[in-house]
Amino acid sequence: MFELDKKNKFQKVRGNKIIKQESFFMKQNVLTEVEYNNYKKFERILKYVEILRKKLRIEREKFNILEWGCGRGENVIWLKELGYNAFGVEVNSNYIKNCHFLLKKKGYNKSILNLIDNDGKTKFSDDQFHFIFSKQVFEHVNNLKVVISEISRITKKNCLGYHSFPPKRRLIEGHLKMPLINQIKNDNIIKLIICFFIILGIHPHSKALNGYKIGRKVDIYLQYLKTKVYYRRNEKIANFFSKFNFKVYYDIIYLKRFRNTFKFFNSIINFIILNFVHVNLLSIKL
């Protein structure tokens, strides 16, 4: 059987022996080359990376890029293979360790991936990076103000950041794949909705939960919502950036053809996307 401990980890019980296993949301497996090749790289950032690099007239190997919340380092390896001086930071040491095998195989030093300390600080010097990005990370950060403060410290003046995250009012919760459950505050109502969608087959279908009864799955999903995700309005996140000397723009890439054809609806569509679909925030350090 499995139990969930106080640190949101599964414990597999065999007799009196407990073997800890990370939650089904965690990337606990060693990164293989097959997984790396199949991983969808964050190619959208290359447009802005190259615009800035060419403006600064810097060679790729001298252009410093940092991924905040790098996981197992797939994007960092990809950027290294493209010739950039790329690094990653992460709060979970297991994620980083699970990249070491592939880093060694590809000839990269494992020091390009680093842990963020308990105070939200990194080992990097002031004004070190030309470009800092994150993908689906901000919604998992409790104290986002501390993170943005550190990002500001290590970003060079007149350089860029790109951060992709779901808005507070997103209609479908992106991790559990269930509509509207992130909009409700009452736990009992959330449980009923989660139970309903599990019965319909709308949930992550994690192998780690195979054999679990519906009630147990409901409790685990609810605990994840309460302790692992922190949704915020895009305006609030933009205000954090402004307080730490960034100017903010939005890169709205959805329904581009429609918006170009029907420009009258642009502002309405942009509002819907930024508040209910997804946010791609571009920041410039002043």
pLDDT at 1: 25
pLDDT digits (tens, 9 = 90+) for 226-271: 999 999 999 999 999 999 999 999 999 888 888 788 888 888 999 9
Give the pLDDT band (50/70/90) at residue 11.
Answer: very low
Write out the DSSP string of 135-177.
ES-GGG-S-HHHHHHHHHHHEEEEEEEEEEE--TT-SEETTTT
Other CB atoms within a 10 A radius of the CB of residue 37 amount to 8
Lowest-confidence segment of 37-41, 135-139, 179-183 by average pLDDT: 179-183
Q: Where are the domains of the chain?
A: 2-29+171-227, 33-168+231-285
pLDDT at 257: 81
pLDDT of 10 above 70: no
Q: Do 124 and 97 contact (CB within 8 A), yes or no?
A: no
Main-chain phi, psi angles of 5, to 5 degrees: -85, 180
Query: Distance between CA 150 and CA 244 in Å, rounded?
Result: 9
pLDDT at 286: 97
Q: Which fold has domain 33-168+231-285?
A: Rossmann fold (3.40.50)
- The percent of residues in the chain predicted with pLDDT above 90, rounded, is 77
Query: Distance between CA 134 and CA 281 in Å, rounded?
Result: 10
Query: Distance between CA 74 and CA 52 in Å, rounded?
Result: 22
Query: Distance between CA 230 and CA 71 in Å, rounded?
Result: 18
pLDDT of 84 above 70: yes
pTM: 0.87
